[in-house]
A and B are shown apart, each in its own frame.
Chain A
Amino acid sequence: MKLNQISVFLENKPGQLKLACKRLADANINILTLSLADTKQFGVLHLITPEWERARDVFKQSGFIASVNDVLAVEVADRPGGLVDVLDAIDEAGLNVEYMYAFTFGDKGKAALIFRFSEADAAVEKLKASGVNLIDKVELFARSGK
């Protein structure tokens, strides 16, 4: 159920994000979704792409520091309270969220949440048990039309 997310270290200065994205564009790699966590000095770019292995190699070869992390994609109803339902389940399971981001995709009325838990495997078990709808990568990319 786990997804391979690419994380890239970026200095917080003009043009850095574009530079990183340009490398992927040049390699003809499409991004499904991304998020950027930043401080005054630096940021970490998180991105999801079907071609994560190639993306990792592109970053490595062009001198970026990049890592691959396990994240989970959760389907939620795109309506008020949809997110709270999922967070309730996470709370009850006693899971610690490192960070998360959301995007809408393919089907109307559905959104996907990307979660980074400190322990991804434990999270898969617990969330499945509490009836949360986890989307695996095949399904995610298929439904997004990638």
Chain B
Amino acid sequence: MQPELWNDVLGQFHPASAPDYLPPAQLQQLQLQRLQATVKRTYENVALFRQRLDERSVKPEDIRSLKDIQRLPFTVKNDLRDTYPFGLFASPMQEIVRMHASSGTTGKPIVVAYTQEDLDVWTSVMVRTMASAGAHRGDIVQNAYGYGLFTGGLGFHYGAEALGAAVIPISGGNTDRQIMLMRDFGATVICCTPSYFIHLIERAGEMGVNLKELPLRIGIFGAEPWSESMRQYIRENSNINPYDLYGLSEITGPGVAAECNCHNGLHIFEDHFYPEIVDPQTGEVLPDGAEGELVLTTLSKKAMPIIRYRTRDITTITHEPCGCGRTLCRFLRVGRRSDDMFIIRGINVFPSQVETALLQMEGTLPHYQIVLTRDKGLDQMEVQVEVTSEIFSDTVGGLESFQQKLETAVEQTIGIRVGVRLVEPHTIQRSEGKAKRVIDQRKL
């Protein structure tokens, strides 16, 4: 077999990926066993969960089918804050080998914990994530997720090593060095947030490095919502194949769900994370195909099992077969979070809608920011867009007409006319982690 073909075959299969192809009946049986064990363990070891079940007069033994999960209470982010730091741990410290924490932008951070077994599961889902993106032994993985309390860095690190790839543990930031090592080491896989990768493309251009000429072929992007148009932009400007990945620290970190090479949704690693879609207002469980909030239950977590976690991510689940042969259900890429939504003059707006409108226009980079202000009681929204060489015109009239075209594109998407302001390159702050799209300066 020719080496390239062999690589393709290797890329399609890794022994850790076997559960991706379980027959549905067998998968459901596994899920039920694990759910029952998780509910029992959580009931016995976590006071908050026991109290909530007792209030509802539900016993762990009442979980006889997967559908019975609907009798269990939801867990929300505030539950993790209220029990800070160790209130939701189900294992004694003797069994815990790692802790991570969120940035805690609003007050106390949230803390998550892992036993060795939890770390092994996490690593295995990261191997499956990277294998489904076509990464394999022999690849050089540049891991630009931040190492430290954030789960992104270490999650990818252990996953890539277990896959058999060579890891460059460069962590986030220091963009010039990222580009130098990417070129000098011949990195073939890059892992970071999509907005940071766009920053890398841009900076590489300024440094005279053409990413299209480097061996880089796969990007695994997560930790923030990104749009199909951003994927298109990345493809066109770097010649790599961009894969979406989904995860959250509360559930394990990166590796909860990942795209395969069909790019038609993210496969949830259902043998470890049980998904539901609920109506964000009523909490009622919705059927396949209906849009709602993703709710996740950990099925294998020992140190910190989380039952029915409200992710705030809005998506749709499908069980239709995927071209890749995986039997795991898929959810459509998360374009928006119920958290990100803002209301302007009574209209619900998601930053992703604005992004889609902007990227329709030739030449706009996805560097934008939405600034909300309130003037004499009236909400004002301004979209700041960085000028690029492609859109720059030496006539004021040319720039103004571009500005108006952007305003029209945004108006057609969100339904109200808002101002677009053209700003100089690099004036919108680049994030090395999650991009901050909305600056809300309204004082209520």
Which chain A residues have a beta carbon within 8 Å of chain B's beta carbons?
5, 7, 9-11, 16, 37-39, 41-44, 46, 60-61, 63-67, 69, 98-99, 116
CA distance A48 to B352 in the complex (A): 42
Given contacts A42-B399, A44-B399, A61-B206, whether A116 and B425 have CB atoms under 8 Å apart is no
Cβ of B261 < 8 Å from any Cβ of A?
Answer: no
A64 in complex: contacting residue of B394, B396, B424, CB < 8 Å? B424
B395 touches A65 (CB 8 A): no
Given contacts A65-B387, A65-B389, A67-B394, whether A41 and B421 have CB atoms under 8 Å apart is yes
A39 touches B387 (CB 8 A): no
By a CB distance below 8 angstroms, the chain B residues around A16 are 424
A116 in complex: contacting residue of B395, B399, B423, CB < 8 Å? B395
By a CB distance below 8 angstroms, the chain B residues around A67 are 389, 392, 394
Shortest B179–chain A CB gap in Å is 15
A37 touches B424 (CB 8 A): no
List the 7 shortest-distance A-B pairs measured between CB atoms, nearest first. Answer: A7-B394, A37-B396, A65-B392, A69-B394, A9-B387, A65-B387, A98-B395
CA distance A7 to B397 in the complex (A): 14
Given contacts A65-B387, A65-B388, whether A9 and B396 have CB atoms under 8 Å apart is no
By a CB distance below 8 angstroms, the chain B residues around A61 are 206
Shortest B203–chain A CB gap in Å is 10
Question: Which B residue's beta carbon lies closest to that of A10?
Answer: B424
Given contacts A9-B392, A44-B395, whether A65 and B400 have CB atoms under 8 Å apart is no
By a CB distance below 8 angstroms, the chain A residues around B422 are 9, 41-42
Could you show 26 A-B contacts with beta carbons less than 8 Å apart?
A7-B394, A9-B387, A9-B422, A11-B423, A37-B395, A37-B396, A38-B396, A39-B396, A39-B400, A41-B422, A42-B422, A43-B396, A44-B394, A44-B395, A44-B399, A63-B425, A64-B424, A64-B425, A65-B388, A65-B389, A65-B392, A65-B424, A67-B392, A69-B394, A98-B394, A98-B395
CA distance A98 to B397 in the complex (A): 9
A99 touches B424 (CB 8 A): no
CA distance A123 to B384 in the complex (A): 37
CA distance A38 to B397 in the complex (A): 10
By a CB distance below 8 angstroms, the chain A residues around B425 are 63-65
Given contacts A43-B396, A64-B424, A65-B389, 18 further A-B contacts (CB under 8 A): A9-B399, A9-B422, A9-B424, A10-B424, A11-B427, A39-B396, A42-B423, A60-B206, A63-B425, A64-B425, A65-B387, A65-B424, A65-B425, A66-B392, A67-B394, A98-B394, A98-B395, A98-B397
By a CB distance below 8 angstroms, the chain B residues around A9 are 387, 392, 399, 422, 424
CA distance A98 to B425 in the complex (A): 25
By a CB distance below 8 angstroms, the chain B residues around A116 are 394-395
By a CB distance below 8 angstroms, the chain A residues around B395 are 37, 44, 98-99, 116
CA distance A11 to B51 in the complex (A): 58
Shortest A143–chain B CB gap in Å is 25
Main secondary structure of the interface of B (DSSP, over half): loop
Shortest A116–chain B CB gap in Å is 7
By a CB distance below 8 angstroms, the chain B residues around A99 are 395-396
Cβ of B345 < 8 Å from any Cβ of A?
Answer: no
Shortest A145–chain B CB gap in Å is 27
Cβ of B426 < 8 Å from any Cβ of A?
Answer: yes
Question: Which B residue's beta carbon lies closest to that of A7?
Answer: B394
Shortest A2–chain B CB gap in Å is 14
CA distance A63 to B203 in the complex (A): 10
Encoded as 1 (CB less than 8 Å from any A CB) or 0, chain B from 383 to 407 comes to: 0000111001011110110000000
Question: Which A residue's beta carbon lies closest to that of B397?
Answer: A98
Question: Which A residue's beta carbon lies closest to that of B207?
Answer: A61
Given contacts A9-B387, A65-B389, A67-B389, whether A44 and B396 have CB atoms under 8 Å apart is yes
By a CB distance below 8 angstroms, the chain A residues around B387 are 9, 65
CA distance A9 to B387 in the complex (A): 8
Question: Which A residue's beta carbon lies closest to that of B390?
Answer: A65
Encoded as 1 (CB less than 8 Å from any A CB) or 0, chain B from 358 to 402 comes to: 000000000000000000000000000001110010111101100
By a CB distance below 8 angstroms, the chain B residues around A63 are 206, 424-426
CA distance A46 to B388 in the complex (A): 17
Question: Which B residue's beta carbon lies closest to that of A71?
Answer: B394
By a CB distance below 8 angstroms, the chain B residues around A98 are 394-395, 397
Shortest A33–chain B CB gap in Å is 15
Shortest B202–chain A CB gap in Å is 10
Question: Which B residue's beta carbon lies closest to that of A5?
Answer: B394
Question: Which A residue's beta carbon lies closest to that of B394?
Answer: A7
Shortest A58–chain B CB gap in Å is 13
By a CB distance below 8 angstroms, the chain A residues around B427 are 11
Shortest A61–chain B CB gap in Å is 7
Encoded as 1 (CB less than 8 Å from any A CB) or 0, chain B from 401 to 444 comes to: 00000000000000000000111111100000000000000000
Shortest A56–chain B CB gap in Å is 11
A11 touches B424 (CB 8 A): yes
CA distance A60 to B426 in the complex (A): 12
By a CB distance below 8 angstroms, the chain B residues around A10 are 424
Shortest A99–chain B CB gap in Å is 6
CA distance A69 to B394 in the complex (A): 8
CA distance A44 to B387 in the complex (A): 12
Shortest B369–chain A CB gap in Å is 14
Shortest B402–chain A CB gap in Å is 11
By a CB distance below 8 angstroms, the chain A residues around B397 are 98
By a CB distance below 8 angstroms, the chain A residues around B389 are 65, 67
